[in-house]
Amino acid sequence: MKKVYIVTDSTAELEKRDIEQYGIHIVPLTILINGETYIDGIDIQPDKFAEMMRDTVELPKSSQPATGAFKELYDRLGEDGSEIISIHMTGGMSGTVKSAQVAADMTQSKVTVIDSMYITHALTFQVLEAAKMAGQGKPVAEIVERLTSIRKKTTLFVVVDVLDNLVKGGRIGKGKAMIGSLLNIKPIATLQDGVYTPVAKARSHKQVVAHLFKVFREETTGKIVRGVGIAHVNGLAMAEPLKKLIEESGVKDVKLTFATPVISTHTGEGAIGFMYYTE
């Protein structure tokens, strides 16, 4: 029986029950750290990776799935004429979406590849909505239109606690990092349209939480909050108070997860990602 299948990558924060209930297919990225290669979510778990990252001099490297891995999956899922929507983390941080597009061009199956423009829970917002709509028998065009709407109404903040990985990744110089560390500055940035943009600075975890909650209240007043997610890298000092404030404001289903190794590599330890979407 023909249907619409949903494919994503291992940076999506999906619960096992959702993967099984909606039949979501995940193609994992790989991580290189200390000379060893690991498959994200399969033979390296987020908390263990964070421990390993503390002791490495060089920044760990992530690699997008091989085009062949996508093509093999697309061929299998689409062999009966079923269609596929493949939704992935922002192309600004990974070549995953490009690898998926190359495979889509090679396969005989009908595949629509989507750059979510986001990561972690903000990617998951789109994946779950697509999976629910596919389960209801909605056509690809309608699902794609809905995902475009979700992207436009999604907000994502990234807060870095220590600046080491930004230096290793070449995002800031050592001089700025030293000054930032001395002043205990915690950069707050957004990820909009796949672009990482600094928007504020704070000098304590308490200030970060207050700023994020203030923006959340301002942006969601009079709107229906459809989803809230917080991903952290041993960043519970910010994540838990923020979650509590949001729940006390009336939003009950706030997802709190340990960020995947691919995301941890970019942010470093202590970081959080805070994201939500509205109607």
For the chain of 279 residues, list the mean pLDDT of each consecutive stretch of 10: 93 95 96 92 88 83 94 98 97 93 98 97 98 97 98 95 54 41 71 81 94 97 97 96 97 95 87 96
Q: Is the dihedral of CA 199, 200, 201, 207 positive or negative?
A: negative
Measured CA to CA, the distance from residue 13 to residue 151 in angstroms comes to: 16
CB 213, CB 251: distance < 8 Å: no
Which residues, in sequence order, are bridge partners of residue 5? Answer: 84
CB 269, CB 135: distance < 8 Å: no
- Predicted local confidence at residue 185, as pLDDT: 78
Q: Determine the 3-state secondary structure of 62 from DSSP.
A: strand
- Predicted local confidence at residue 184, as pLDDT: 65
CB 93, CB 99: distance < 8 Å: no
**Helix (H) or strand (E) run with residue 83 in it:** strand 83-88
3-state helix, strand, coil in the chain (%, to 5): 40, 25, 30
Residue 163 has φ and ψ, to the nearest 5°, of -95, 5
- Predicted local confidence at residue 41, as pLDDT: 85
